[in-house]
Each structure stands twice: as C-alpha cells, then as structure tokens.
Chains A and B, each alone.
Chain A
Amino acid sequence: MLSKTPLLEIDNLVVDFETPGGTFNAVRGISLCLEQGGSHAIIGESGSGKSVTASAIMSLIDSPPGHVCGGDIRFQGRSILSMPRAERRRLYGRHIAMVFQDPAAHLNPVYPVGWQIAEVCRIHGRPAGEAKRSAIALMDRVGIGDAARRYHAFPHQFSGGQRQRIMIAMAMALRPELLIADEPTTALDVTVQAQILELIRELQQENGSALLLITHDLGVAADIARTVSVMRRGEFVEEGTIADVFVAPRHSYTQKLLEARTSSRPQVTTADAEVLLEVKDVSIDYGSVRAVSDVSLQLRHNEVLCVVGESGSGKSTIANAILRLREITSGSICYRGADIHKLGRAELDAYHRAVQAVFQDPFGSLNPRMSVFDIICEPWSIQRSVLPKSEWRQRSVELMESVGLTAGDLGKYPSEFSGGQRQRIAIARALALQSEIIVCDEAVSALDMTVQGQIISLLQEIRARMGVALLFITHDLTLVRNFADRVIVMKAGEIVEQGSTEDVFSNPKHGYTKMLLAACPVPDPVVQQERRNAAKVASGGNQGAHALARGA
C-alpha cells in the first residue's frame, strides 16, 4: 500500500488572522507528513492552532480575516492550495473527509439523517437509489440499529453518541483515503467516547484510510494514534512516535501536559470529622422524569467529595438542590442537622454564607457588566453583616492575591481575562463569605488541561489553608484520582458506588464503575493498549462491543 509520495504533506504552513488588534499568527510554519493508512494526532490546547491546521486542509478558513500566507498542503503529491476550486470540491468528501466536534451543530436539523448521509454519495455522482442503499448499509455499519427505519429519523431523535456515529458514516461514505477528525469525542461521555474511538479504528482498518486526529486529550491520542505532534502557539514543539513522545517527552511543554494531572494529593484524614451536610433519600423529578432517586450522601468538614457521573446521571441536579436552586421532590437535605428547607430567615442567610458555588462556565458565571471589584464585593452587598463597607477594598485585594491575581485586576472587567483567570475570580467570590462548603459544579471542565491542573492545585491549597469542604461534581474520573478523599459514582439518578478514592479506583465493585474506569483513556500508549484489550475481553469481544454501541 505504501506509495512513494506521502498521502498528505503539510509543508511549512503559515496561517495568519487579521484581527482588530493586529495580525494573529495562528499557525507558524508547521510541517507534517502522513503516509497512507497512518494515524497521526495533533495535540494542543485551545488557541494552539490545531483546528486551524485542519481547517486549512479542508479550505474551511474564513477569509477574511484568515488567510494562508505561506507553505503548501499536498495531497497525493498535488497542491490543494493552488488547485482550482472545482477540482478541490471533487477531492473533499470523496478522498478527504472530516468529522467535527459537535455533531448537533453539523447535522442539518430539518433533514432526515439518512438523506444527509446519502447526500454525500449523490454529490459525488451516485444515483439516488444506490445512495440510499449505501446510506442504510453505512448506518448499520456504524452501529445504528434498525437502520432502514431510522433512515427517516431526524438528528434530534438521536443521542450525542449516535449523532457522532452518523457524522462518521457521512465521512466514511465514499471510503476516503484521509479522515480528519477534529475533537471527535470531546462532547461525549467517556464510555461513549471509547465506543466511538473503537469505531473509528475499525473503519480505518477496513478502508485503509489514514487518520489525522485533532485533540486536546492525551488519552485519546494515546488510544488511537501512532505518531503525534504536540502543538503550542502555532508551532510543533515536539514530534515523534506516540511511544517516544509519551514515555520520554523532550520538550518542557509536553512534560507539563503529561504532568498536569498527576500531582500528588496531600493526605488529610477526615473520616471522623464533623458532618456538615447530609443529603438523605433525596429524589428530584423534572415533570414526569425522575432525575435523582433516593440519593444519600454526607459531606464532612474539610473533605473533598467528588461526585462522578456521565451526562444525565443527576449529579448537577443534586448540586443545584444543595444550593437551593432546585426544589426536591422528597427526602431532606440537612446542614449541621437542620433541614435547609425549614430554615427561618436568619438561619437561611447563615446557610447561604456557609455554602458557596463555582460553576462550570467561566464566561457565564461572572456578570459581564460588573467590574471584578463589584463581583468580589457582591456577596458582602447581599450579606451586609459579614463585612463593613470600609473593609471591602482591603479584603478583596487579599482574596485576589489568594487566588493568584493582583490588586490591579480589580478594576478590570471579566472579558479581559482568560477562562482560567475567570474561574479564579469565581473562586475568590466563593471565598468571600468564608464559607465552609464550596460546591464546584464541573468547575474545571471548560478549561484547558494545564489550566485545569492549576485550578485543581489552587483548590487543594485553599482547602488546606482555609479548611473548607469541597463537593466536586465532575464527569472526568482522571481528575478525581489525585484530588478527592471520597468518590461517589452516579448513574441514571442513582448512586451506584461510593467509598474512599483508593478503594473505588483500585477495587471497583460495581460494573458501571469498572466500565467507566476502563473507558477512560490514559496518556500512555502501552497501558492504553492493554486496557483496551482488557475492556474488549470484559465486554465479551467484538460482539459485546457492537451490542454496547447500539445502545449508545
């Protein structure tokens, strides 16, 4: 299969964006060579230029403001950038196909999915009847059960995982030589992610396609790619086979990426500490849907309790109930023995002072019209008795410094900060009332990996210094391991397993916990290979994997 000319060659590519603030060099002279049937991953954090690279290959860069101002991209020896548009169009879809991050946004909501898959075939000149037949076959192949009937279903009738399967079916419809996958599993739950990656791997082998994977997730890269480039600020800082790069990273940035999640956890004994918050048999209904059923948990003084679950597991609903943002249907939530739904006015104020929150979206959780000073002071303007106004300035400076920002930042507005910095501001605000409990609802999920690491260590430091308890809600198991004292695993509104972090990770009892642990890719190619095989055996070989896939 190996030909003399490589399948895809990127030669010293430079992409600039004209922004109002000046020229932004998104991609600064990268080179890449992908052989037929190879699989290469470009790893980088947001803004590193990895998606721009993919867009450049597909001529998807918005121009203006962006333009390719240097280098070349060659596909099978022919320059994509200089070929006529008509010729380029013949290439895309048939020879080069792309899978995007958000299948909900890239499927047209008003057309049946089957029609959309068949469209690719029709565009490239197949008769309609044949296109329909192959679309149904493709849907079947990517694991959509009852494909002939589901051909007529609309995108909203599928789950996120199924939509991504459909996107993959569209991309693979004409057996392209090159598949570009831009963060294909980022929006998906970890167990679904494992299935999608498996599907991509299988299809790649069947069709002999090459894969160019764009990802921020080292685990995903380790799972599927053979070679890797680590991208930072528009440049490749490290390249090589996945084994070399992951086992012996040479560049400090790669080392930092690999270290980001492996910081050690300070040992704190909290087993016999006072119980601050007790959730007893709580059920919460959304209309006729039971989102949470009979959940009980305890949060002790100065403890880090992580609630882990996939989307729809009810973990955020529980957090909202504790924050009194959501009414509960039955059961009780007690703070220091008192039911929080039966508190008097003064006691309720005390509860609000004791429990604060940090939310997921760093862009939404700060009012864009308020200065940072106003944001930090808002808790004191609501809870007047906590701090006299004359001390607001001094105390807010202290808070800013305690989260790693400066007094000078107080006069700025949220839009002037990065996601990680905004999350620091949100943490400073949560600390303003000297709370005992901080509920972090996916507080680092929207952040880049290295920034996640920084925020986690900040939370750890705050916990040790100020003696707060953290209720940490997340979908990401790898984060939890070095951070939590205890872990609760939730699925479909119920707690399936809880225990100390050591126990849950080294000796998971419930099948779902085992599956979660197995599905979570680790940034080590050798270990990941073993884990994948083990997971396959555990689920009864390929047959089982397919059955699982259909359920997704």
Chain B
Amino acid sequence: MRQMLGRLVHDKAALVAALYLLAVVVVALVAPLIVDASLMRSNLRLRHLPPLHFDHGWWYVLGGDALGRSMLARLVVAARTTLAISFATVSLSLVIGAAIGLVAGLSNAWWSTAIMRAIDVLMSIPSLLLAMVVLFVIGASPPVVVMILTVTRIPIFARTARGQALEIRERPFVSASRVMGASSLHLLVRHMAPLALPTLFSVAALEFAQVMLAESTLTFLGIGVQPPDVTWGLMVSDGQRYLATAWWSALWPGLVIASIALAATILGNWFQVANDPVLRARSARKSRVPAAESKVASNA
C-alpha cells in the first residue's frame, strides 16, 4: 500500500487526478453540512443569474438556474447522488462481469459458451427499452436505476474479462502452474485475476463516465432520478433547454462530468502501469530523461 502511494506521488498527472477525485468525494460526503437549505429553494429574482461575479455571495459565483437556485450548491448536492449511483453501478458490474468472464474463460466446457451467448443476448436487448419497461413497472428510484444500469454494463466487463482469460490461459506460466497440480481456483486467483484486473480497471474508469451519461439519459426521459433528488445528469438535461439564453446552466455540470471522467481515466491508466513491473520499469527510466517526461504525461 505504501509502495503504491509512493508510485502515485511519483506520477504527477495521476496524483492530481487522485487529489481531484478525493476532493469531489469529500465534498459529496459533507454536502449536507455546508449547503444551506435556503440555497435550494427557488428564488425567482435570481433566475438565470449570470455567473462569475460575487454580487450575491460566493454561492452564486457559478450563477443561478432556471428557478434561481445556486448552481454551485446544486452541483455539490448532486455530487452525492451521482457519485453514489455511478460508483455502485460500476463496482457491481465490474465484480459480477469479471467473475462471469474469468470463470467462462477458464473453462472449455459447454456452459462456458452458454454463459457467453446469454451475455450476448443481454447485450442485444436495447438497454433503454429495458430500462423504460422496468422503471415504469417498479417505479424510479436510485437503487432501481443502479440495478438497471448494472445489468446493462455487465456484458462489457464479462467480455473483456473472458478475452483476457482466454489469452492468459494459453501462456506457458499457466501451463507450468497446471503441471504443479494447480486447481482452477489457484489459476484464477494467482494468474488470471492479477493480469486481467488492471485492464478491467481501465475499462471501469471509462465506464464511470458512461454510466453518468446513461443515468442522465434516463433522467432526461423522466424515468431516472426524480426531483427533489438531483444528479449532474439531471442538471445537464434541465440546462440544455436554456442553452441559448443561459449557457452556464448546462456547462458547469457537463464540465464536472467530463473532468471526473478524465480524472478516472488517468487514474485507471496509472493503475495499469503501477501494477505492471515491465511498464513500471520503463516509465521509471523514462522519467529520468527530461525530454521523455512530457511524453509520459501525455500518455497518462
């Protein structure tokens, strides 16, 4: 753990990304303490208040929305719901998808193929249609949204994991391990998972942004998160109606989504490098050559 932290400090881009994500998480956690309830009430005098000046206190530095609520305060409150939904969705689908994919990749048996065909079937169902039907029947709430999004994300992780497992399975060190009498569980835990995980984490980082956008699509259709709950996706879809008159109402939540996605991707890439002795040695050597340093940053 300490080793990993040391490596993180070494990679400037990843460090900045990690600190940014950490800050957003902290803000999301303490949101109820810092955001005054009055800021969330509509105030038509401050309707579409232009951003970037302090006339109405620093809560209104990012402007006001269509009902005159503070954009900054709503972003802070939305962080909680958005991050919770995305994080839960991505981790659930990562765990379930990776388990299915690795197990299916390890075995040649008929059920391995059957599982993957079932995954393909799942993938071919339009996720929006599935979401609409389920949300209409059960009713929209954050846990149901998480469930729906998880189901639609599982195939991506399962197929990535299976592809990795199929490739790793043929490597000589897996054969060597089998020759020692290794059980399937041993192969899975010692060889498959450690080699497949960094790739899966990279995929997860990208999926994190995808899930935020998918959630906002559901919200946009009115079947996602319902007011008074608020997410960044909801804010984007609210704001896009006023793009011509009040650009800030969609821009700030959009920027937050993009920056979170970027930070998650940078961190995902860093994780892949930090876990691979070969890449690690290469990047360590690179960083000693000044000319190559900018290349590392841009690669990350």
Contacts and interface: CB of A to CB of B under 8 A. Distances in A.
Interface of A: 20-21, 323-325, 348-349, 351-353, 355-357, 359-361, 364-370, 378-379, 381-383, 413-416, 426, 429, 433
Given A367-B191, A369-B277, A359 B175 contact: yes
Main secondary structure, interface of B, reads helix
Given A366-B173, A383-B180, 8 more contacts: A20-B289, A352-B181, A365-B171, A365-B172, A368-B278, A381-B190, A382-B180, A433-B180
Interface stretch (B210-218, B232-240, B280-288): B280-288
Contacts of A325: 175, 178-179
A433 B181 CA distance: 11
B179 A323 contact: yes
A434 to B, nearest CB: 13
B176 A369 contact: no
Contacts of B179: 323-325, 352, 355-357
Contact of B175 (A323, A379, A382): A323
Contact of A348 (B181, B186, B276): B181
Contacts of A414: 277
Contacts of B171: 364-365
Contact of A359 (B176, B195, B285, B292): B176
Given A20-B288, A364-B171, A415 B180 contact: no
A495 B172 CA distance: 26
A360 B171 CA distance: 11
Interface string B155-177: 00000000000000001110111
B294 interface: no
Contacts of B178: 323-325
B258 interface: no
Given A382-B182, A383-B180, A415 B172 contact: no
Interface in B233-292: 275-278, 281-282, 285-286, 288-289, 292
B194 interface: yes
Interface string B136-166: 0000000000000000000000000000000
Contacts of B176: 357, 359, 365, 426, 429
A371 to B, nearest CB: 8
30 contacts: A20-B282, A20-B285, A20-B286, A20-B288, A20-B289, A324-B179, A348-B181, A349-B181, A356-B179, A364-B172, A366-B173, A367-B173, A367-B191, A367-B195, A368-B276, A368-B277, A368-B278, A369-B194, A369-B275, A369-B276, A370-B194, A378-B177, A379-B180, A381-B190, A382-B181, A382-B186, A413-B278, A414-B277, A415-B277, A416-B281
Contacts of B276: 368-369
